[in-house]
Structures are given as C-alpha cells and as structure tokens.
C-alpha cells in the first residue's frame, strides 16, 4: 500500500505543475492578445512632457537685488512686485534731473520777461521815431508854405523898390524874412533826414527782438530736454521694481539679495496653471491618426494608474527637426533617413482638479487609430 502511495505522489505533483503552467500560459496569451490588440488599434508616444505658457521676467534697468519678494511655488497676481532693484543712484539722478528742469524753466521765465521788455522798448522807440518823422515832414510843409509867402513878398517889394515906392530898409526887412524862410525850409528838411535815421535805427532794433525770441526758443528747448531726461530717470525708477506680467505661479526665482541683475537676464519664471498642456511628439508615420479635436488618453508618470482624458488642440505645421539649433546638412550627399517627429499639443480635461501636474513632468499620450475625432 505504501508503494502505491509513493507512486501516486509524483504523478499528482506533475498534474498540478502542468495545470499551473497551463494557467500561466493562458494568462500570458491573454495579456499578449490584449497588448497586440491595443497596438493594432492605438498609437502612442512617450516623448511627451507637461508644459505651460511660461513668462520669464527680467529687469529693464541694471542694479543689485535689494529684495526678493516671492519664493518658488508662490501664487502671484499681475502687477505684484517680484524683485526690487537698488535705486539709490536713480533717486540721486532724479533729484539732479528735477533741479535741471527747475533751472531751465527759470531761464525760460527770465527770457520771456526780457523778450517782453525788449519788444516794448523797441515798439515804443519805433512809434516815437515814426511820430518824429511825421512831425518833421509837417514842419517841412509848413516851412515851404512860409517860404512861398516870403518869396512872393520879396519879389513884390523888389518891384516897388525899383519904382522907389518903398524905402530900401523896408525891402531889406522883407528880404531878410525870405532868407529866414529859406533857412527854415532847409532846417526842416534836415530834421526829416534825422527823423528818418531814427526810424531806421528803431527798425534795426527789431533784430534784438528776434535775437531775444531765438534765445527764448533755445531756453524752451532746454526745458524739453531737461523734462525728457527727468522722464527717463522716472521711467528707470519705475522699472526698479520687477513686477509679475500675469497671474500665475512662480516656477523659479533665479536671484538672491545682493546679486547683480543686468537688464534682459531673467530673475524669475512664472506660468499660468490654466494654460498647462502636454506636448507630445509623434512619429511622422502616425500623423494620419492625429486630428484636431481628437480624444486622447494622457498618462502622467507622476500619477501612475490615473489616466487622464484630453483632446488634440494643435498639430505643428513642421517637423521638430526644422527648429533645431544645428539643422542637418545633406548638401554634401551624405544622407541617412531618420524618422521625424511632429509636435502635437494635447489639452487635459478637468485640469483644475490636478494641481499636482506641473510643467516638466513626463507623460505618455495614446490615440485611437480612427482617423476622425
């Protein structure tokens, strides 16, 4: 009896082993069939990463960092101060610029007063000279009228003297009056010449008005220049505070207090969580299965076992190789065909429920082989 039991044990063990192997084979076949079916009905790529619209913030003026107002991961609002640049030198320059503006404006006021005074003096002198010239011409007319009367009297008394109708003393008296009238006419004419000279001088004095006006224009230009310099310094002081351009999260702060921050070099990077998406690079042979609006399954490595649903929102119009810093050069005839990849952007549904999905995480994107969304 014991011999029969000994012979039955190996046979039973063999049966169990065969059964286990059969089950494992069936499981392997099922898994392989499922995997094969998935590959036949879907396309996927693991060349995918979470991204977002990123804003790198840089100062517009140079200086040392006086204060860092935020830290990595902090949520900020548009316009919030991120970093402050030391502005002691800018404050001193602003004080000097304001003093320059005040000095230039004072020069304009003095120039305007001088111009008004010069204009008044020149206008009064010209009016006086023109009035004197008019009076001198009237005096000439009056003297010429007196000369005409005296000359007529002189001729009449000369005729009477020849007829001995009047004494010579009377004729000499009339003749002296005529000579005096002639002298008056000549004196009046000389007065006209002098008056015209004064008018010419008054007109020439108007050049001083033009010079004063030009000086005032130059002073006004100096004021504008000083104001422009002040505005530039005020602009620079306003840029000493580096502010957030958008609402979002601080991805990283690149500086610390005391660092020198040159213009154009980023001091912080921000991104808006609402703009997160997955950028997947599909092989060119799989592009027929990629279409705008098509549903996609997104598997983020940081969330194992939690597939997300998304949709294709953009397909790049060129292969990624076209944007490489060092593009391939095949002009020499050396050519090796390489499978190209095209960037595809996938937006994730219910993204607000997954704050743990941050830019830079690895992912896998799966699309059904159906050609339509």
Q: DSSP secondary-structure letter at 164?
A: T
What whole-number distance in Å separates Cα of residue 341 and Cα of residue 321? 8
Rounded Cα–Cα distance for residues 199 and 52 (Å): 82
Centre a 10 Å sphere on the Cβ of residue 147 and count the other Cβ atoms it contains.
21
- In the prediction, which pLDDT does 1 show? 47
pLDDT of residue 331: 62
Q: Is the pTM of this model over 0.75?
A: no
* Residues facing 75 on adjacent strands: 249
Tens-place pLDDT, residues 64-114 = 999 999 999 999 999 999 999 998 888 888 889 889 889 988 988 888 888
Nearest to 342 by CA among 366, 364, 315, 360: 315
Report the C-alpha gap between 165 and 159 in whole angstroms.
9
CB 24 within 8 A of CB 48: no
Q: Which two tokens stand for residue 231?
A: 């505005």
Report pLDDT for 326: 59
Cβ burial 172-189 (10 Å sphere, 16+ → b, else e): eebbebbeebbebbeebb
**pLDDT in the model for residue 8:** 52
Helix axis angle, 88-162 to 168-238, nearest 10°: 170
Please provide the size of the chain in residues: 373
pLDDT at 212: 81
**Going from the N-terminus, what domains does the chain have, and what CATH number goes with each?**
40-54+273-368 (2.40.30.170), 57-86+240-270 (2.40.50.100), 89-238 (1.10.287.620)
* Residue 285 near residue 260, CB atoms below 8 Å: no
Tell how many helices (H) and how many strands (E) occur in the chain: 3, 14
The percent of the chain in helix, strand and coil, each rounded to the nearest 5, is: 55, 20, 25
CA separation for the pair 78, 264 (Å, rounded): 19
Whole-Å CA distances, 311 to 97, 271, 278, 315: 57, 21, 10, 11
Residue 352 φ then ψ, to 5°:
-65, -20
The percentage of the chain sitting over the pLDDT mark of 70, rounded to a whole number, equals: 88
Residue 347 near residue 276, CB atoms below 8 Å: no
Mean pLDDT of residues grouped by 10 in the chain (373 residues)? 52 74 75 64 88 91 92 93 88 87 89 83 80 82 82 82 80 82 83 80 76 85 90 84 93 93 93 93 88 91 90 87 62 68 91 89 89 49
DSSP states along 108-159: HHHHHHHHHHHHHHHHHHHHHHHHHHHHHHHHHHHHHHHHHHHHHHHHHHHH
């Amino acid at each position: 009896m014991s011999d029969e039991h000994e012979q039955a044990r190996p046979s039973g063990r063999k049966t169990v082993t065969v059964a286990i192997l059969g089950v494992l084979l069936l499981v392997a076949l099922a898994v392989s069939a499922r995997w094969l079916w998935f590959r036949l009905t879907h396309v996927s790529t693991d060349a995918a990463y979470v991204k977002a619209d990123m804003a790198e913030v840089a100062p517009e003026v140079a200086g040392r960092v006086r204060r860092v107002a935020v830290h990595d991961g902090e949520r900020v609002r548009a316009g919030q101060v991120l970093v402050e640049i030391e502005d002691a030198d800018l404050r001193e320059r602003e004080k000097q610029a304001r003093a320059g503006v005040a000095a230039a404006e004072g020069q304009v006021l003095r120039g305007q007063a001088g111009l008004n005074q010069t204009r008044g003096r020149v206008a009064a002198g010209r009016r006086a000279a023109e009035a004197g010239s008019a009076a001198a011409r009237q005096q000439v007319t009056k003297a010429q009228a007196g000369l005409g009367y005296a000359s007529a009297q002189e001729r009449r008394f000369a005729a009477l003297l020849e007829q001995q109708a009047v004494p010579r003393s009377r004729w000499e008296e009339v003749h002296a009056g005529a000579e005096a009238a002639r002298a008056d006419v000549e004196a009046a004419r000389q007065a006209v010449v002098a008056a015209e000279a004064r008018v010419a001088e008054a007109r020439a004095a108007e050049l001083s008005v033009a010079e004063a006006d030009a000086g005032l224009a130059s002073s006004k230009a100096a004021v504008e220049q000083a104001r422009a310099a002040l505005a530039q310094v005020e602009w620079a002081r306003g840029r000493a505070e580096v502010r957030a351009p958008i609402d979002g999260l601080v991805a990283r702060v690149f500086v610390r207090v005391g660092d020198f921050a040159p213009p154009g070099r980023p001091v912080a990077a921000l991104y808006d969580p609402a703009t997160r998406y997955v950028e997947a690079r599909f092989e060119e042979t799989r592009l027929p299965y990629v279409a705008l609006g098509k549903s996609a399954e997104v598997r983020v490595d940081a969330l194992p076992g939690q597939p997300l649903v998304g949709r294709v929102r953009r397909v790049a119009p060129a292969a990624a190789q076209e944007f490489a810093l060092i593009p391939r050069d095949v002009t020499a005839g050396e050519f090796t065909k390489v499978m190209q990849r095209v960037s595809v952007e996938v937006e994730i549904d219910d993204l607000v429920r997954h704050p743990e999905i941050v830019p830079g995480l690895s992912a896998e994107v799966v699309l059904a082989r159906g050609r339509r969304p």
